[in-house]
Amino acid sequence: MNTKRILSRREMLSQCSTGFGMMALNGLMANRALAGTTGKPHFKPRAKHVILCYMSGGASHLDTFDPKPKLKELHGKPMPVKVLRTQFNNNGNVMASPFEFKQHGQSGMPVSSLFPHVAQSVDELAVIRSLTSKVNEHAQGNYAFHTGLPFMGSPAAGAWMTYGLGTENENLPGFVVLQAGGAKVPHGGVGLFSNGYLPAENQGSIIVGDKPAAVRNIQPQEADRVQRSRLDFIKNLDGDFVKRIGGNNDVEAAVRNYETAYRMQAAVPELCDISNETEATKKMYGMDSSNGVTAAYGHQALLARRLVESGVRFVELSCLPEKMGGGQAPNPWDQHGNLKNGHENMARQVDQPIGGLLKDLKSRDLLKDTLVIWAGEFGRTPFSQGTNGRDHNPYGYSVWLAGGGVKGGTIHGATDEFGYHATENKCDVYDLWATVLHLMGLDHEELSYRYGGRDLRLTDVHGNVIREVIA
């Protein structure tokens, strides 16, 4: 290939960046199996899709799914055990939960008054009360949860899912991050949804469900026949180039991204058009709420159901910032002060939508194939920060799973009587993702990618499947 032709081709590719072309940079997923994988599970899966409800900022396990009567007994007194260094160290005395816990369902699982709607589906939940994190800072914690490592550059769990299994819908990406109502990316930025060293089509694509242009840069700027002709031209050029050099994952991924972005021009607006959903369904998700953030998060949750119904592999929902007691915009569950009002606001935002999602999935017979995850980057301390907040606590906190082969009505692991440290069946994010991959039919030790001279994986050199939560 001569230099003149290379430069001309580059100019042509640059001109194609308007409209569908720029989506190549967003790493969208095509329908084919990925290079180095079969696009098939290692064994029979229990789940086909994942919906991650990520509570950015660190929701307090002590005020949600892990009641501690001892805190009520010792409220206002100094902690009777050693207090380790926290993120900000302005620590006070023991702080009881301001919320009441009640038992729900046939399982009798205790749930805080913050989550009356989720509590109605408590027999679908497997609550893990003994998750730990190695970091206690938001950005690092977010990366550790999403990628297994506390720094940017590694693939997100959603990228690994699409890498291992592909997508069931050639018109949509396999990994989608939903936003609505001004929801923010958690601390750490869009690198939390990165493909890392995996092929580019595995990167998460952000869809803003309540905007006319739900995805940037895919609005057509020219006639369909012109786009199609341009795509075919690029495909032929790149195809010839790949043949001559004996294959190139990056170039092949770019071609697939162009094609996916082209098809998304029609698929995304159709997906985001919820006019055919019944008013009863919208109400179940809280979309009729006078609280705008509830309605916006409900919009995301409804779109999540529509996405998995359409074959999308991995969907993540995004929390909205709250003005009062809601932490900073990227981590709205982060109440170092005014925890009661802050957690009330955040629970009001997500409880009804998530409760509606669980009910809707089950009524449509989708819950058995869809794994729903509720989690944040860490928990909160049993003692106060200042007078009425809680600092970060990575030593033991709660997450839950539902659907997708999970043993509902189950509590796994425990923290001590203060909710400070995990003491029973201690586990970490590697164990969590090993379990999720297992439910998706993937062996976490076999799902790897050769990079930098190593066979890398989501669980690194760690991880054990938490079999006690599997039905």
Query: pLDDT (tens digit, 9 = 90+) per residue, 188-240?
Result: 999 999 999 998 889 999 999 887 765 555 566 666 665 666 666 666 666 66
Q: Tokens 């692991």 appear where? A: 413
Domain membership of residue 16 (yes or no) is no
Domain membership of residue 311 (yes or no) is yes
pLDDT of 55 over the 90 cut: yes
Domain count, the chain: 1
Domain membership of residue 183 (yes or no) is yes
The whole-angstrom separation of Cα 247 and Cα 255 is 13
Domain membership of residue 227 (yes or no) is no
Domain membership of residue 237 (yes or no) is no
Domain membership of residue 255 (yes or no) is no
Q: Under a CB-based contact definition with an 8 Å cutoff, are residues 214 and 208 in contact? A: yes
Domain membership of residue 272 (yes or no) is no
Q: Which residue has the higher pLDDT, 259 or 48?
A: 48
pLDDT of 8 over the 60 cut: no
Rounded to 5 degrees, φ, ψ at 109 are -70, 130
Going from the C-alpha of 357 to that of each of 71, 184, 365, 372, the distances in angstroms are 33, 21, 12, 9
pTM: 0.86
Q: Residue 328 sits in which domain range?
A: 36-218+279-469
Domain membership of residue 421 (yes or no) is yes
So what's the pLDDT on residue 4?
A: 39
* pLDDT tier at 171, thresholds 50, 70, 90: confident
So what's the pLDDT on residue 214?
A: 56
pLDDT of 242 over the 80 cut: no
Write the CATH number for 86: 3.40.720.10
pLDDT of 110 over the 80 cut: yes
